Structure 1
Amino acid sequence: MGATALRNGPSPVPAPIDSIVEVRGISKTYGNVEALRGIDLDFPRGKLTSLLGPSGCGKTTLLKIIAGLIRADGGTVAINGKHVTAPGPERAFVFQDFALMPWATVMRNVAFGLELRGTNKAEREAIARRYIAEVGLAGFEDKYPHQLSGGMRQRVGLARALSVDADVLLLDEPFSAVDEQNRRKFQEDLIRLRTNQNKTFIFVTHSIEEAVYISDRIVLLSPRPGRVSQIIEPEIDRSGDPERIHRDRHYLDTVEEIWQGLKQYVE
């Protein structure tokens, strides 16, 4: 098979990893609905990890707990060894619905996090301009969100997250609202950004193909209550022509392996 799979239960202990995010015993209940139960995970520094699983398994809930946007009922999250319970400068969140300020230009939206930190205008605009160009929006600095396509608005959200120089970028299905062509381009851009920026990405997706294509590591969550059921590390060479990956035997084998594990939960 084209992946290394680590399952819960009796198995060889994996080699230690350089973890930037450590999740221990995280549980969350909404009313009578148990969303997460006893999640233990380590997220490797400088890697892209995808959270994948059936609808309702708690992927976004776990992401928002790591972000500090909602509180867990039990367990801890540590970033760089420090326990966190609220948002912090070491994390940046990219929302599914863009979450841009409609009255602000692209420049102002991208620079907003730096403005909140008190960075002077010249410096924050220079930083924002750099990341606007990095995501392919040079020349659109003075446009407003309503003047942009959905794909362009999502690029603004990504540039905003990059501009604050957070160690960890948390992405909640960021490409789900764009068409297939833009989604493919975003995936290629994300692989490039992960390499160039040397950031740690935690990425929520419903797409098996997307997870395998972009990820260094894929965490499969079980149906509610969400628990870690499997961790897969795709053995895929992402150098060269990106289109080649979709025809790569290891890519196809890994997609099929994950589908075989998930299809029992599809109604």
Structure 2
Amino acid sequence: MTATVRAIRQAMPDTANPVVEVRNLSKRYGSSVEALRDVNLSFPTGQLISLLGPSGCGKTTLLKIIAGLLPATSGEVLVKGQKVTAPGPERAFVFQDFALLPWGSVLRNAAFGLELRGVPKAEREAKAKHYIEQVGLAGFENRYPHELSGGMRQRVGLARALAVDADVLLLDEPFSAVDEQNRRKFQEDLLRLRQIENKTLIFVTHSIEEAVYLSDRIVLLSPRPGRVSDIIEPKISRDRDPDQIRRDSGYLDTVETIWRGLRDYAD
């Protein structure tokens, strides 16, 4: 382990100022598939934490349990001290497949979460327009999903999640369907938005480079059943040009350290 990386074992979770706590969480599908086993994690307020591991290790399952979209088999999730039993207004989910209303305009889609909460039309559209601009889609408010590129559709999903003003954003591989150029631009935009909004972000990715570039912490999950094998904190200053960050020795050393830990599990 290099000096730029600190690994923390699951037995030593960080309990400082957590907005989300995962306690002794396990998940089974039927009697044969054990997706997660005895996971303990704390997610501090205002951090971006990535879930990283081999395919099938339970990353998305864990994210959906935190979201309240799936029940745990045992254990519990607390958000702001309250046990999760269903989706709630303090959490917003950004889906990998966009999950947009095909009959709704960009504005309608971005405002949809607020519409479900009964926010008056003028108020919800004003807020949605603000976040449409924040994600770089100003001028596209009246377009429909079929008129947008994959990257633009994903930006609509992000605007919708931001508009509901949730404390925790849950992002399930949100950039996996876009090309590398757009993916890097999205990464930079996400860091900028995080500084502006000061949200807690829990981010599922298969990309080691993406996790290191974005994250305050990276949770490494073992192969199924998923357990926390390590928590890594990249020691990288992000107050620089993105290309400088990607050439930084700390960034490169962290990527290599994680790869060494995961390569035995590669397909």
TM-score, with normalisation over the residues of structure 1?
0.97
Letter in 1 for 2:7: A
Aligned to 2:18: 19
Aligned to 1:6: 8
Letter in 1 for 2:9: R
Secondary structure, aligned partner of 1:71: coil
Secondary structure, aligned partner of 1:124: helix
CA distance in 2: counterparts of 1:75 and 1:8, whole angstroms: 15
CA distance in 2: counterparts of 1:16 and 1:28, whole angstroms: 23
CA distance in 1: counterparts of 2:27 and 2:200, whole angstroms: 24
Asked whether 1:86 is paired with 2:66, we answer: no
What runs of 5+ residues in structure 1 fail to find an aligned partner?
none
CA distance in 2: counterparts of 1:118 and 1:106, whole angstroms: 19
Letter in 2 for 1:68: G
CA distance in 2: counterparts of 1:260 and 1:240, whole angstroms: 27
The alpha carbon displacement at 1:17 in A equals 1.6
CA distance in 2: counterparts of 1:239 and 1:18, whole angstroms: 24
The alpha carbon displacement at 1:7 in A equals 2.2
Secondary structure, aligned partner of 2:206: coil
Aligned length: 264
After superposition, residues 62-81 of structure 1 pair within 5 angstroms as 62-81=62-81
Change (3 A) 1:92 1:8: closer
CA distance in 2: counterparts of 1:150 and 1:17, whole angstroms: 38
CA distance in 1: counterparts of 2:135 and 2:172, whole angstroms: 18
CA distance in 2: counterparts of 1:15 and 1:175, whole angstroms: 28
Secondary structure, aligned partner of 1:171: strand
- Deviation string 1:66-112 (CA, Å, 9 cap, x unpaired) is 00001000000000001111000000000000000000000000001
Q: Identity of aligned pairs, percent?
A: 72
Aligned to 2:41: 41
RMSD: 1.0
Secondary structure, aligned partner of 2:247: coil
Secondary structure, aligned partner of 1:226: coil
- Deviation string 1:167-209 (CA, Å, 9 cap, x unpaired) is 0000000000000000000000111111110000000000000
What runs of 5+ residues in structure 2 fail to find an aligned partner?
none
Letter in 2 for 1:28: K
After superposition, residues 123-138 of structure 1 pair within 5 angstroms as 123-138=123-138
Secondary structure, aligned partner of 1:246: helix
Aligned to 1:150: 150
After superposition, residues 135-214 of structure 1 pair within 5 angstroms as 135-214=135-214
Aligned to 2:229: 229
The alpha carbon displacement at 1:16 in A equals 4.2
Asked whether the equivalents of residues 13 and 42 of structure 2 are also in contact (C-alpha less than 8 Å), the reply is: no
Aligned to 1:30: 29
CA distance in 2: counterparts of 1:132 and 1:83, whole angstroms: 32
Asked whether 1:241 is paired with 2:241, we answer: yes
CA distance in 2: counterparts of 1:137 and 1:92, whole angstroms: 20
The alpha carbon displacement at 1:14 in A equals 6.8
Letter in 1 for 2:18: S
The alpha carbon displacement at 1:15 in A equals 6.2
CA distance in 2: counterparts of 1:257 and 1:201, whole angstroms: 23
CA distance in 1: counterparts of 2:127 and 2:186, whole angstroms: 21
